[in-house]
Structure 1
Amino acid sequence: MIKYQFTKENNHIQEIKVTGHANYAEHGEDIVCAAVSTAIIVTANAIEVLNLKDKVQLDLDEGYFKLEVNQVDEIVEGLLTNLEYTLNDLEITYSQYIKNQKKEG
């Protein structure tokens, strides 16, 4: 199962963690893992292309993604909120394979 968590303080996303594998299907056939991976990579690439890497710290590996916000930024917040909406939508459709571990600060 993929588990994800958005930690917020004062309504701003401070940290994101995504871990695990969906096990929806075999490796290379798993559309849930592919969707989550794509959403994460699109977000990370947008942060890089928009020259916002100094505002966050990224750690990305197979089955693991962690992002910490170093400096609150409106564009970063928008990108991360979009990622949160995307993962929440995937959880609605594939709740057996992806779960939000909610944490509010």
Structure 2
Amino acid sequence: MIEITINRTESGIIQSFEMSGHALFADRGKDIICAGVSAVSVGAINAVHELTGVTPDIEHRVDGFLRCVVPEELPDDVHEKVQLILEAMAVSLRSIEEEYGKHIKITFKKQEVE
């Protein structure tokens, strides 16, 4: 199962996300769930960088682990663009989860204090 955690600040802003595991829906190279999750998450990271100039802190491993942390102290206009891209990613991932919930689980965590 692919497990995804999206971490939000107390005010609801996406601060980071991480994912690990494999969907095990089909053989390697034919797993549409893994491919979809990878395309959505890596596409969002690439879009943040390309469209806003922000380079998130990223850790990526061949075992399927991915962590992305948004830098703090961004200008308001840039921060809003980054959030829009990450919220779109979350919507896309939830769509995959709705259809293939046996293979992907998303957890949203909210900080208690900022």
TM over 0.5: yes
Once superposed, what is the RMSD of the aligned Cα atoms? 1.2
* TM-score using structure 1 length: 0.91
Larger radius of gyration: 2
Structure 2 match to 1:27: 28
User: For 2:102, what is the secondary structure of its paired residue?
Assistant: coil
How many equivalent residue pairs? 103
Structure 1, unpaired ranges of 5+: none
The superposition leaves residues 37-69 of structure 1 with CA deviations (integer Å, 9 ceiling, x where unpaired) of 10012112112212111xx21122230111112
User: For 2:4, what is the secondary structure of its paired residue?
Assistant: strand
Contact 2:23–2:103 at 8 Å: present in 1 too?
yes
Moved over 6 A (4+): none
Q: Alignment partner for residue 106 of structure 2, among 80, 100, 104? A: 100
Structure 2 match to 1:80: 86
User: For 1:80, what is the secondary structure of its paired residue?
Assistant: helix
* TM-score using structure 2 length: 0.84
Answer with 89-98 or 60-69: which moved more. 60-69
Looking at structure 2, the residues matched to 82 and 64 of structure 1 have their Cα atoms a distance apart, in angstroms, of: 21
Where do 1:1-105 residues align within 5 Å? 1-9=1-9, 10-50=11-51, 51-53=53-55, 56-62=56-62, 63-71=64-72, 72=74, 73-105=79-111
Looking at structure 2, the residues matched to 42 and 103 of structure 1 have their Cα atoms a distance apart, in angstroms, of: 22
